Amino acid sequence: MDLKTMTYIVVGATFLLYIGIAIWARASSTSDFYAAGRGVNPIANGMATAADWMSAASFISMAGLIAFQGYQGAKFLMGWTGGYVLLALLLAPYLRKFGKYTVPEFIGDRFYSQMARLVAILCLITISITYVIGQMKGVGVAFSRFLDLPYEWGLYVGMSIVFIYAVLGGMKGITYTQIAQYCVLITAYTIPAVFISMNLTGNPIPQLGLIGNDVGSGTPLIAKLNQTIQDIGFGAYDGDPPSYLDMLLYTITLMIGTAGLPHVIIRFFTVPKVSDARWSAGWALVFIALLYTVAPAVGAMARYNVTTTIWPNGVQGEAIAVDQLPQWFQNWETTGLLKYEDKNGDGKIQFYNDKSEAMKTLATERGWQGNELTKFDRDIMVLANPEIAGLPNWVIALVAAGGLAAALSTAAGLLLAISSSISHDLLKSMLMPNITEQGELTAARVSMAGAIAVAGYFGLNPPGFAAQVVALAFGLAASSIFPALMMGIFSKRINSHGAILGMVAGIGVTLAYIFAYKGMFFIPGTAIFPASTPEYWIMGVSPEAFGCIGALVNFIVAYVVSSVTAAPPKEIQDLVESIRVPRGAGVATSH
Amino acid sequence: MDNESGNAYWAANIRLVTVLLAIWAFVSFGMGILLRPMLMDIKVGGVDLGFWMAQNGSIYVFLILIFVYAVMMNGIDRQYNVDEE
């Protein structure tokens, strides 16, 4: 069977499964719609959280990022997993005990202020919209690449699928489809990784392959990789990062940003008990780690495979001839994500770092006229993995379904965070306090449909901020939501003035730093400093790493302002007391 | 729950969280990033300890930390009689 038919069958089968689940798991109350009736088993919620969390970026892009960055790519690995420790120890059990539905609801109630609620709603919507556009693009790209459908059609199909299960089932439908999506994406990620690890290191477990030896030479894989890429002028794979300080702050920002992402936090509202929220965070990280500990092996091995494909006998030998390129190379060239140009007309592709001085001498000696692998998109690393390993068509089809599952599951979680903050926080808590349960459920479904339409529109016309997920979404979550939640739980003294001014100050400095390097509201040409030139960064701190400084500013401002103004009223202090003890969580759910 | 027992419960919680977060920071920011140059001579298979901690090891430690927290915190809940009956 040809690849396209196979891909249609596999992707079609997974879509039918998602729709089947949607029909089975319809929501009949606001509690179902916002929190899956608080009846989700902690292990099941862990799995759903893993799918919710692992986006198109985790599935498709992360291994490629690590492949090109080497050691320092670990900031993504530690940052996007370490946040779960903060979530489990500092936020999830308490927010579950609070027993309501949304993140702005906690911030608004705890800081007894509609202003605080509004700031939280605006942050949530900015974060989630930025994030969801990337998922929509991922869906469109996956369709166009694997199913030969135009990008727009892919987007419409993806939107329709999400529409069916998110509008019908709300959190309940989303939870059970996410569980199915997790199974699809983890299988799709693991199978090629196992085969590639087996080929290169003789060890089928990729985590052990990463620290294992190269099968041919018996030297450690990473040492072999170092030599292979240093021979063509690139830095060592395990070499030092340009700045350890920037790597540290970047990692911290991703960690506290992860812990402050509303679409992840609300997943912990779905479990029956406070103790379940603690277990569930652990299970979520188990399921996330199954992908995240494999990703660095995939990255290193893909980098090695690509380099040795072009230099089959090392740099001492000849580069591969154009007419001998493997099939996968040609397949990806047609997508435009991979390009080569035979600059010296010798029919071979010399791939090297033409900015390295040492390589310039070698290039003159051997008659090379610049690097001829002119484009190699990092996303190819995961998507082409099964082809590089020579795996059968059904594995390639499964990777397509896995990429779609990763993008759709995260999109659905984000859309729920957006729609519940509109129907519950904006309408029910602020504008229409007398709305009935049935009215609110209808409003939730309508705002879900609206959110899908907005996400689809931005997917078709990506605005400037769409590419800034790491800087904008993680920066905002780190500098505003995480500190507000943590102080709301761990301090009885932080009052509404402190919380509001703290959030505004945290967001303010973070956005100022990001905009200064990336343009005012990301409009091209309005940046004060060039973004990609580290010598302009204050102390070498990149805009993406700045969120943790914003968080620090938030903490300090909130503390200082609260200490010079009146303490929160008695009932708020009682509220804090009550969320600190697990007993009585069942009672608090009756809303 | 009376005030005294409530304060003791919260203090026990803060102690546990502080210890676990100290380990969390030590393995990731410490061994994985800042202390890596000092750990270069210690090897885990074919890579140095800092590299392994940054790319794989810290994630395993994170996992252990969350499960230790869940077990111990559920125990503290029972000890102070504030668990969910």
Contact yes or no for B60 and A293 at CB 8 A: yes
Residue B5: CB atoms within 10 Å: 12
Residues of chain A found within 8 Å of residue B67, distances taken between Cβ atoms:
282
Task: Give A377-403 as a 3 state SS string.
Answer: CCCHHHHCHHHHCCCCHHHHHHHHHHH
> Which has the closest alpha carbon to A82: B49, B65, B39, B69?
B65
- Do B24 and A247 form a contact (C-beta atoms < 8 A)? no
User: d(Cα A211, Cα A417) in Å, to the nearest integer?
Assistant: 40
- Do B85 and B25 form a contact (C-beta atoms < 8 A)? no
> Which has the closest alpha carbon to A30: A443, A379, A391?
A443
> Which has the closest alpha carbon to A249: A486, A550, A553?
A550
pLDDT digits (tens, 9 = 90+) for A490-506: 999 999 999 999 999 99
Q: Please give the interface size between A and B, counted as residue pairs whose CB atoms are below 8 Å apart.
A: 140
Q: A128-132, A157-161, A461-465, A526-530 — which is least confidently predicted?
A: A526-530
Instruction: Please work out, in degrees rounded to the nearest 5, the angle formed at the alpha carbon of residue B28 by the alpha carbons of B27 and B29.
Output: 110
Q: What is the average per-residue pLDDT within A237-258?
A: 93
Give B55 to chain A, closest Cα distance, Å: 5
User: d(Cα A73, Cα A71) in Å, to the nearest integer?
Assistant: 5
ipTM exceeds 0.85: yes
pLDDT at A486 > cutoff 50: yes
What three-state secondary structure class fits A432? coil
Give A221 to chain B, closest Cα distance, Å: 7
Q: What is the average per-residue pLDDT within A90-102?
A: 92
pLDDT at B1 > cutoff 60: no
pLDDT at A299 > cutoff 50: yes
Q: What is the pLDDT of residue A428?
A: 85
The residue extents of the domains of chain A are: 3-293+390-458, 302-388
Question: Average per-residue pLDDT in chain A?
Answer: 89
B46, B60, B66: residue with CB nearest A281: B66
DSSP string, A289-313: HHHHTTHHHHHHHHHHHHHHHH-TT
Contact yes or no for A211 and B63 at CB 8 A: no
Who has greater pLDDT, A238 or A22?
A238
User: d(Cα A540, Cα A242) in Å, to the nearest integer?
Assistant: 9
Range among A69-73, A143-147, A197-201, B17-21 with highest mean pLDDT value: B17-21
Give B50 to chain A, closest Cα distance, Å: 9
Q: What is the average per-residue pLDDT within A135-156?
A: 82
Q: A12-16, A432-436, A523-527 — which is least confidently predicted?
A: A523-527
pLDDT at A440 > cutoff 80: yes
User: d(Cα A139, Cα A152) in Å, to the nearest integer?
Assistant: 10
**A565-to-A113, A350, A491, A575, B74 alpha-carbon distances in Å:** 15, 67, 15, 20, 37
* A-interface mutation test, from B56, B76, B79, most A Cβ less than 10 A away: B56
Is CATH 1.20.1740 the classification given to domain A3-293+390-458?
A: yes
Query: What are the b/e assignments for B64-85, b being 16+ CB within 10 Å?
Result: ebbbebbebbbebbeebebbbe
Q: What is the average per-residue pLDDT within A338-345?
A: 88
User: d(Cα A499, Cα A480) in Å, to the nearest integer?
Assistant: 9
Residue A434 pLDDT grade (very low, low, confident, very high; cuts 50, 70, 90): confident
